[in-house]
Structures are given as C-alpha cells and as structure tokens.
Amino acid sequence: MKIMNVKYSTIGAMTALLFFASCQTPCPEEQEENFEITQDKIDYLGITNPDKLSAASKRALQWPDIGNEWYGEFQVYDLKGDLAYEEGVVRRDPSSIIKHDGKYFVWYSKSTGKTDGFAGDIEKDKVFPWDRCDIWFATSEDGWTWKEEGMAVGRGEKGTYDDRSVFTTEVMEHNGTYYLVYQTVKSPYNVRVKNQVGLAWSDSPYGPWTKSKEPILSPSDNGIWKGDEDNRFLVEKKGDFDSHKVHDPCIIPYNGKFYLYYKGEQMGEQITFGGRQIRHGVAIADDPKGPYVKSPYNPISNSGHEICVWKHEGGIASLITTDGPERNTIQWAPDGINFDIIAAIPGAPHAIGLNRTLNNEDPFGIFGWGLTHEYVTYDWQYIRRFEGKRKTTHVARGETGSKKSSDE
C-alpha cells in the first residue's frame, strides 16, 4: 500500500560544488527527489515517523531489494599433498580453478627463502614474500589432494621487464587457448619500482607457455616523485589512481571483448577513513593478447585489494575486501564498469581463487569452494581451501521455532 511521497535533498557539499560548476544557467540550491514508501517498508525498517526521516532511514528506503542471497559464512581448511604447508617455501595468490580432462588446475606464486625487506642489499635480498617468484601450477582430482606439476611461467632474462619476479596470476580459457595474466617486476626492486602486467598463452594447461615480449599493462605515467630518496610517500604530484602499480590482473571475456580488471596503487598512497587508498580499474581489448586500453571511467571502485570478479546475471560481480570505505561488499555492474553495492559480505577469505566450475548464477553458489592463502608468518605462506555456506536465519542456542536453523 503506497502511503506517501517524500522529498529530500540529495546533494551534499561536494556534490553541490560539482553541480554548480557544471551548470550553464543558474542552478537550484537543492535537487529534490521523490520516492515512495509503503506501510510494509515502514514496518520492515522500524521507522518511527515517516514525516521525520533521518539520513540513515532515507538510505535504507533506497536499498536494493535483493533479500539475503549474498549473506553467508566461510570456513578454511588445510589441503593435502604438495600444497600442504611447507616451511621454507612460499605458495600464495592462487588463481581461479578450472577443470580439464577430469582434473582441477590452479596456478600460483612460488618462492623460497625468508623475506629480508629493503634494509639490506636489494640486488641480492628478497624484499617481499612475492619477490623472486615464478608461477607454478598443481592439479587435483578431488579439490583436496594436490600434485605440484612444475613451473608454468618463469622470470625473464636479466634486463627484461619481468626479470625480478612474476607473481599473482589469473587464468582464462578462451576458444581452446589458455591465458595466464600476472604481475611483473624488473630489477632492482626498490620502493619506487613500478609493477607491470604480463601475459602468457598455451594450447594446453600443461604448457609450454609463450610470454608477451612487452607488458600488456603499465601504470599511468602522470605522477611526479619528490626528490631522489627512495620513498613512495614523497610526491610532487600523485597522478592517477594507478600511477605507481598495476596489480592483481584478471581477464574476463565479456560482451565480445576482453575486460582486464586490475588493482591500482597511487604514488604517494595515503590512509583514508577506510584504510589504504586502493581502487580498481579496467582495461579493454578486442583480442585476448591486446592491446588493452584503460577505460576513461577509471577508477571503477572506491575500495578493494585483490581482484575477484565473475560474470553474474548479464553483468560483472566483484568482491571488494580489505581496503577502503566500501570494503567487505559485493558490487555489481550491468556494463562491467559502473558498479553499485548490492550486499555486505564480511569474513570472506583474502586472495580468493574462485572455482569457475561452480554455478555463478545462484548468488552465493560461486563461493561454494575455492582456494585462498594464509600467512603462517610474514616469511611463510601457503594455500588452503575455503568453503562458503549461505545463511538464511539466526537461531539462538536452545531456541525452538518453525524455521530451520542457520544455513542452507
């Protein structure tokens, strides 16, 4: 039952400045927007007086009506076989899981030795756990016991753009060809080094792999460092959201093109009210091997860390974790670019490798099981299995009722 229309101002101070700046004729001080509320909505949201709506109530009245399809919980388990924890070895950042000839495949970053940091000899030391990595892969028949098959993509020869480390990979299969997209670093690995993105392809998930001779994506080149000190926080101009690094690449075939999603790190990165200043971008190509052109709408998120994207209901869904004011949310874009928040989803594991063999139309189905990594210490990380389960109700211990308990 519709009971009334409500009018309220939707322009905050910053929006108002942009609004006035764009006007060719005198603009109103406020833009009024109508929306309808019903008695059912008032009861559901517990609103005391619909004539006196708080800012929180106004936001709640405009929430998308999607139910609790994205609400769930996660458990993480140790794996068996070659991906079990091994001291002295780093295995991290698992790719998505695909299936070929009855076996699951995963690719990941692998290195050995402790992390030394930037205080010593950066030509000889290991400055991060993901430094001095190569990309390896493993197979499994059941998703629990894994066999490490060997190296897929190694570091390049000295002087090439990927001679220091290749890491944080994602896999895509398209028309019988397999593609690995990954981060690269060229020596020396100093604080101000600019990470890039490389690509390799093969007719078989076992390889051999052909690497791109040049990176397929690089940071924006419009920031300016301040002075010569190797300090990433000292800048004269910050530049675009990805002026320092392009990380965590993932290619999705979409709308007849190839969307390369990535995490951008900005020169002079700051801590905001949501944590680290991290945002995502997308570059688009007509061919899997490129060239990739960054979207003029970048950045496409206000938050995030590792890229975790998948096709959903004709658009692209994105799991946003770890950093920024919109972290711990599911976002969705009908065009793969303009993302809106559609759910909160706290507790998701970091560096998720989605199992792309699962149903991705049922909202929580994509999280049925997959892979993640875990820090034992800063020196040693290993790959584990996660399982997600949707929750529909909450029942206290000892409570009885007609509804079934907690999850499905």
**Dihedral, 222, 227, 232, 237 alpha carbons, nearest 10:** -30
What's the average pLDDT block by block, 10 residues per block, for the chain (408 residues)?
41 30 37 69 91 92 81 95 97 98 98 93 93 98 98 97 98 98 96 96 98 98 94 94 97 98 95 90 98 98 96 95 94 97 91 92 90 96 96 78 46
Share of the chain residues as helix, strand and coil, in percent rounded to the nearest 5 = 5, 40, 50
Query: Of all helices (H) and strands (E), which one includes residue 58?
Result: helix 55-61
Asked whether 330 and 342 are in contact (CB, 8 A), the reply is yes
Instruction: Say whether 252 sits in a helix, a strand or coil.
Output: strand
What pLDDT is attached to residue 394? 76
pLDDT at 33: 53
Can you list the domains of the chain with their CATH numbers? 2-61 (no CATH), 72-390 (2.115.10.20)
Q: 3-class SS at 394? A: coil
Longest Cα–Cα distance in the chain:
72
Residue 300, amino acid? I
Q: Which helix (H) or strand (E) holds 20?
A: helix 13-22
Q: What is the pTM of this model?
A: 0.88
Tell me the residue type at 62: Q
Under DSSP, the state recorded for 363 is G
What residues contact residue 3 under an 8 Å CB cut-off, 6+ apart? 37, 38, 39, 42, 50
Positive or negative, the Cα torsion across 125, 129, 133, 139? positive
Task: State how far the Cα of 336 lies from the Cα of 329, in Å rounded to an integer.
Answer: 16
Q: Residue 35 has what pLDDT?
A: 64
The Cα 271–Cα 378 span in angstroms is 22
With a CB cutoff of 8 Å and minimum separation 6, the contacts of 368 are 355, 358, 359, 387, 388
204-238 burial: b if 16+ Cβ within 10 Å, else e: ebbbebebbeebbbbbbeebebeeeeeebeebeeb
From residue 142, how far is each of 62, 101, 104, 152, 170 by CA, in Å? 44, 13, 8, 22, 21
- Give the pLDDT confidence score for residue 22 in this predicted structure: 34
